[in-house]
Chain A
Amino acid sequence: MGRKLLLDKAHIEGIRYFDTYRSNGGYAAAEKALKTLGPDGVLDEVKKSGLRGRGGAGFPTGLKWSFIAKPEGVPRYLVCNADESEPGTFKDRYLMEFIPHLLIEGLLISSFALGANSCYIYIRGEYAWIPDILEQAIAEAKNKGWLGKNIQGSGFDLEIYVQRGAGAYICGEETALIESLEGKRGNPRIKPPFPAVKGLWQSPTVVNNVETLAAVVPIINIGGDEYIKYGTGKSTGTKLISACGNINKPGVYEIEMNISVEEFIYSDEYCGGIKNNKRLKACIPGGSSVPVLPANLLLKTAKGETRMMTYESLADGGFATGSMLGSGGFIVMDEDQCIVRNTLTFARFYHHESCGQCSPCREGTGWMKKVLHNIEYGKGKMSDIDLLWDIQRKIEGNTICPLGDAAAWPVAAAIRHFRDEFEWHVANPEESQTRNFGLAHYADPLPVPTPAAV
């Protein structure tokens, strides 16, 4: 059994409510932070823990917090990004639904460290029932003196507000989230200035993912030095993975970042293998926007090493032969899945969700969708594959926010690793309407370069 830090108490009945949470050791970390550590102590522990942002980019949280500008007389804000809209990712929902107090405790500690007296939870509109759960938990915590004025006699004030989004993927981007929170159209801002300098209402702001803020609680509980013993290398601690696709046991799993991808897919503790005893064809290891990997590259890196569920190992080989851990939306595809169709689905999603502010993303995503639609429905040309490659190349890196990259990467990776399948679709337009390309050679072991004998 892997060790757990976030979901270790998730099975306890009634953990959603304050009393149960408190009697099971809840708010001990907050007490420790407020009474003994102080803001700088909390920041030190988080820095020591090596915690990396769990929203997708994997930026060190302690570093992010230390960037926040501290001008006199200007309020600072902490914003919790609960706009979890990445297809394949549903870990934050689990956290907020079942242990809301863990998040609230994390917000309390983080706000204390940052010196923020107002904190916002921006939650996606589709999670319609969760704001009620959160608001109930906030009211409970306030009643017991863990929120509001002068928390537990420490002199620290904190109010937490829950704000619902209106169902836009782009509002998960931190500056678009801030715009939306201010009541404007959710268009990403042009950076710099970064939110740490000018964020919400032109004040210094830190935007963190739900899981990142929740992970602050075990860090304070066990200490940064102990936390670093979990996981491997720079991927410290535990990570929530939302596994879905053609697996026996889809769901949210907390993993310690020291297991291999193969173990995660096939062990009974986690995904429990591929459904109906099919073979693994491909996998998107970190939510829809990270590059898709064929089975052979997923389980072993290009160097022939076993691929682990860590930030570094999944990114090994760059985008040529690697992918990203991203937000932890683990999508598994078996041999019956069509990569072209899957890519079309993502392209359609990103076209739908593009905010329309900058031209490459606004026009390019729609174009990619239309070209992919043609290929999928047997109307494609061979030149379309190169055209797609050229379009994605011209979107990537040329946009205001990372949505352009997120739209370009899945297409790029699909063509990079599954070009045969695209070509088969074009060459056999009629056959491709009735059957799938199948597994082909995508699970064959790759030749590993060996050093020449001396």
Chain B
Amino acid sequence: MAEEIKLFKVKIDNISVEVEPGTTILNAARKIGGEVVPPAMCYYSKLQGSGGKCRTCLVKVSKGSDADPRPMPKLVASCRTTVMDGMEVANITSPEVLDARKGVVEFLLLNHPLDCPVCDQAGECHLQDLSYEHGADSTRYEFKRRTFDKVDLGDHIKLHMTRCILCYRCVYTADQLTEKREHGILGRGDASEISTYISQSLDNDFIGNVIDVCPVGALTDQTFRFKNRVWFLKPVDAHRNCENPKCCGKTVLWMRGDEIFRVTARKDKYGEVEDFICDTCRFDKKDAKDWIIEGPRKIERNSVISQGHYVNTVKPKDPLVEVLDGRQPRLLFDIHSESKVNRPDIELSKIDGPAHSDDFKK
């Protein structure tokens, strides 16, 4: 029998939770769920080594552990700090944390172009959510924002560096999902940028996942660019038997009618993909016949996408059936066969000027 692991007791905002040793504060908070979960812009549970950079998940450790109850001197990044037995953490109950987080959001938005009206990520952007929840209503920054030229990373991915918040997620993705490391950060400070080594195009089976992991609109899908707003599309779960052995084939199709606008991996409520998918599934299979549709996808994040789509919707009932006591209404006549105007053989676009009833008498 396997030896039972002693669980660590942690208190986050006075809510107790028991987690395995080695768990980070952020993951312990996610176990509790709800409002005590610190926001994370750079941490990604599927990517090794990610996190610690954006500083939005800062929390205050008011008691280090049972053995050493001293508080930690600074705010710590909850995504990279592991819990100790008896640790007490203050997240939303600490004004210091909320103040620091507000500062971080301001810093993140400092050089962000705020071009949400023309950004494909709008509606599913983590930075939008973050600034809505923690940001100020106006900026104190009066200077020119830094800009970069847009770059094509291969045929399918557009890099819009101006929007980037340098979370390094895509760098880790490219590092850990693909065999070649050809994608990284150049420059330093606020001039640093995501780039490929000497403008190499990225052509790997899994490189499309950088679009999914990007928390903002810096990496966007060229096949979807400017096609539609995400909240006009209906997400449905679908799968196909992908030829690529490493690809799970389980995706979300973003549809309008029968048309598939884009394909993404399935994301959980923290916006993290459940399983990475290959580029063939993502970019090339845009026909509904390629997919086996499972049903509507519930988007759990509090974004506009989920509004009014599937949650608690009641389909309006036809009252006539009830009124007529179960009998179907009788069809008196078909208006299409009676109307003189309904003439499909007349091409409206070929009529000079506005159509007139005379045109249909011919």
Check if B140 sits within 8 Å of A356, measured CB to CB.
Answer: no
B108 interface residue (CB < 8 Å to A): yes
**Contacts across chains A and B counted by CB atoms under 8 Å:** 88
The stretch among A233-241, A302-310, A347-355 that forms the contact with chain B is A347-355
Other-chain contact of B55, A168, A360, A367, A370 (Cβ < 8 Å): A360
Contact between A359 and B165 (Cβ–Cβ < 8 Å)? yes
Known A-B contacts A185-B185, A398-B100; A356 and B143 likewise in contact (beta carbons under 8 Å): no
A381 to chain B, nearest CB (A): 9
> Main secondary structure on chain B at its contact with chain A?
loop
Q: Do B55 and A359 have beta carbons less than 8 Å apart? A: yes
Tell me if A400 counts as interface (CB < 8 A to partner B).
Answer: yes
Residue in contact with B80 in the complex, picked from A190, A362, A393, CB distance below 8 Å: A190
* Interface size counted on chain A using CB atoms at 8 A: 28
Contact B143 A370 (CB under 8 A): yes
A360's closest neighbor in chain B, by CB? B107
The chain A residue with its CB closest to the CB of B106 is A394
- Quick one: CB contact mask for B59-80 with A, threshold 8 Å, 1 for yes? 0000000000000001101001
A358 touches B191 (CB 8 A): no
**A292–B63 CA distance with the chains assembled, in angstroms:** 34
Q: Is B354 in the interface zone, CB < 8 Å from A?
A: no
Cβ of B137 under 8 Å from chain A = no
Q: How far apart sit A364 and B188, CA to CA, in the bound complex (Å)?
A: 14
Determine the residue in chain A with the shortest Cβ distance to B80. A190
Say if the beta carbon of B326 comes within 8 Å of chain A.
Answer: no
The reply to whether B110 and A367 form a contact with Cβ atoms under 8 Å apart is yes
Give the Cβ gap from B294 to chain A, nearest Cβ, in Å: 39
Cα A351 to Cα B190 with chains together (Å):
8
Size category of the binding interface on chain B: 20 to 34
Q: Which residues of B are found within 8 Å of A397, using beta-carbon distances?
A: 74-75
Q: Complex formed: what's the CA distance from A364 to B189 in Å?
A: 10
Residues A190 and B52 in contact in the complex (CB < 8 Å), given A360-B104, A367-B110, A398-B104:
yes
By beta carbon, the residue of chain B nearest A350 is B189
CB pair B141–A398 under 8 Å, yes or no, is no
Is A387 on the interface with B (CB-CB < 8 A)? yes
Instruction: Given A362-B166, A364-B107, verify A354-B188 contact (CB < 8 Å).
Output: yes
CB within 8 Å of B: which of A16-43? none
Q: Which residues of B contact A182 (CB under 8 A)?
A: none
Q: Flag whether A357 is at the interface (Cβ < 8 A).
A: yes
Cα(A353)–Cα(B187), bound, Å: 11
Are B185 and A359 within 8 A (Cβ)?
no
The 8 A CB mask of A153-173 against B (1 = contact, 0 = none) is 000000000000000101000
CB contacts (< 8 Å) of B168 on chain A: these are 357
| Docked pose: A355 CA to B77 CA in angstroms | 18
B258 to chain A, nearest CB (A): 43
Nearest residue, chain B, Cβ from A394: B103
Partner of A359, one of B54, B99, B140, B141: B54
A381-405 vs B, Cβ < 8 Å mask (1 yes, 0 no): 0000001000001100111100000
Contact A363-B108, Cβ < 8 Å, known A185-B184, A351-B189, A356-B189 = yes
Query: When chains A and B are docked, how far (Å) is the Cα of A358 from the Cα of B185?
Result: 13
A363 touches which one: B100, B111, B140 (CB < 8 A)? B111
Asked whether any CB of chain A lies closer than 8 Å to the CB of B192, the reply is yes
Q: Give the most central of A168, A365, A366: most B CB within 10 Å.
A: A366
What is the bound-complex CA distance between A94 and B92, given in angstroms? 51
Task: Kindly supply a per-residue 1/0 record for chain B positions 117-155, scoring 1 wherever the CB is within 8 Å of any chain A CB and 0 otherwise.
Answer: 000000000000000000000001101000000000000
Q: In the complex, which of the residues B54, B165, B188 contacts A168, with contact meaning CB atoms closer than 8 Å?
A: B188
Assess whether A398 is in contact with B111, with CB atoms less than 8 Å apart: no
Residue numbers in B under 8 Å from A393 (CB-CB):
103
A362 to B53, CA, bound (A): 10
Which residues of chain B in 72-111 are interfacial with respect to chain A, using CB atoms and an 8 Å cutoff?
A: 74-75, 77, 80, 99-100, 103-104, 106-108, 110-111
Q: Do B75 and A353 touch across chains, with their CB atoms under 8 A apart?
A: no
Q: Which residue of A has the minimal Cβ distance to B108? A: A359
With A190-B80, A394-B103, A398-B75 already in contact, the answer to whether A365 and B189 are too (CB < 8 A) is yes
User: What are some 20 contacts across the A-B interface (CB < 8 A)?
Assistant: A170-B188, A185-B185, A190-B51, A190-B80, A353-B188, A356-B188, A356-B191, A356-B192, A357-B53, A357-B166, A359-B55, A360-B107, A362-B166, A363-B107, A363-B111, A366-B189, A366-B190, A394-B106, A397-B74, A398-B104
**Which 4 pairs, one residue from A and one from B, show the smallest C-beta to C-beta distance?**
A394-B103, A356-B192, A190-B52, A363-B107
B residues touching A (Cβ–Cβ < 8 Å)?
51-55, 58, 74-75, 77, 80, 99-100, 103-104, 106-108, 110-111, 140-141, 143, 165-166, 168, 184-185, 187-192
* Residues of A participating in the B interface, judged by any CB pair closer than 8 Å: 168, 170, 185, 190, 351-360, 362-367, 370, 387, 393-394, 397-400
